[in-house]
Amino acid sequence: MYRTIFLLAAGLLAGAHVHAQEAAQEPAVPLTLAAAQALAVGNNPTLSAARHELQAQGGALQQAQTLPNPELQTLVEDTRRATRSTTVQLNQLIELGGKRGARTQVAQRGQEVAEAALAMQQADTRAAVTKAFIDVLAAQEGLRLADSAQALAARASDITARRVTAGKASPVEETRARVAEASVRLELNLARGALASARKRLAALWGNPAPRFSVAEGRLDDLPPLPASSELATRLQHAPALRQARSTLAQRQAMLDVEQRRATPDITVSVGMKRSEELGRSQAIIGLSVPLPLFDRNAGNKLEALRRSDKASDEVAATTLDVQTALADARERLSTARLDVESLRRDILPGAQSAYDAATKGFEFGKFAFLDVLDAQRTLLQAKNQTLRALTEAQQAAAEIERLLGAPAL
């Protein structure tokens, strides 16, 4: 029996696991950035946790608005039936000083903190997907460059082999060509590994450990625009991190208000009936109780709430400075990367390509040594890789700016 129950439970858990995996798998087709963002919306666990926290805060708000429950109390005096008296009364706590409203304000501020946390997590998730997608595009382009480098190295080896056969070049140069070709093959293997890792990192953002998409579709060579400093300063006021810090400050101030209002004591109203068997009659009971703040004046809680409010205020200032610094750094990275790309495209790449073409033709006709071809080939590949790195850096910096300032809601 226990074995049957265990197998049934294991089957249910395995079925739930398979279903979760199927829900997180993307189709085996080219993947766009918009499709990757949509997959992360429904399956990113951190984003889902932020949504659950917001829903939980809705429950906290509902509970904060409720009134205290009445209390039913029964008291029996004497165990002998003839002289027994029984008291039944209803006690109702009445909160004074606006405590219920202040408590509701704390819950509402808590809900705003959860909303701000969700907005920040949305921006973080969107930026993480964008950066991972850019890494895949860069890895795809890196693999294409490695393939191109292998083709160049193979062509150089063929030219060298023909010249050695014709007696126009030393066998040492053929050996150098083969070594250079083997080195390029190693770079090709590294490029394949980098692409596989980038694909896994992207798919992990929607919970899929084995990516199924065939290729990432996007244009890495489209330089993102450089936003003006005035535009960044305007958008900074709505940054998710600042919104969360301000919401936390408002919640702490509301909590301080609650502690201050507790200085007003609550009252308990009692209404009931007392039945005396000895007298043979019932008596109405009306009571009122008020706590006396002789020992506990809530001073410690008020001091704690005050200092936590001061702390939240300091955290707003610190968060503002951190976001400003990170934003300036990201903008500077974007500006530098754009300049690098423009310089590489305008000056370096055309010159490197021209030098390689000239060195290859000159070597083929016996005018240059093979070392000149290797040097020109190395320069051309280095220029192409530098361009790829600069383009990737520009895209990553733009994604970081959007993360700091807040992306459209997911």
Q: What is the pLDDT of residues 176-187, one digit of tens each?
A: 777 777 888 888
User: Which pairing describes strands 267-276 and 281-289: parallel, antiparallel, or unpaired?
Assistant: antiparallel
pLDDT at residue 58 above 90? yes
CA 204 to chain centre: 13
pLDDT at residue 2 above 70? no
Cβ contact 257:97 at 8 Å? no
Q: Work out the angle at residue 84's Cα, subtended by the Cα atoms of residues 82 and 90, and round it to the nearest 5 degrees.
A: 145
- Strands of the 281-289 sheet, one edge to the other: 71-77, 85-94, 267-276, 281-289
pTM (predicted TM-score)? 0.80
Dihedral angle sign, alpha carbons of residues 202, 203, 204, 207: positive
Report the CATH fold assignment for 37-291+316-405.
Answer: Outer membrane efflux proteins (OEP) (1.20.1600)
pLDDT at residue 368 above 80? no
> Average pLDDT for residues 242-246, to the nearest whole number?
95
What does the mean pLDDT of the chain come to?
Answer: 87
pLDDT at residue 22 above 60? no
Place 24 in a pLDDT band, splitting at 50, 70 and 90.
low
Q: How far apart are CA 391 and CA 137, in angstroms?
A: 11
Domain ranges of the chain: 37-291+316-405
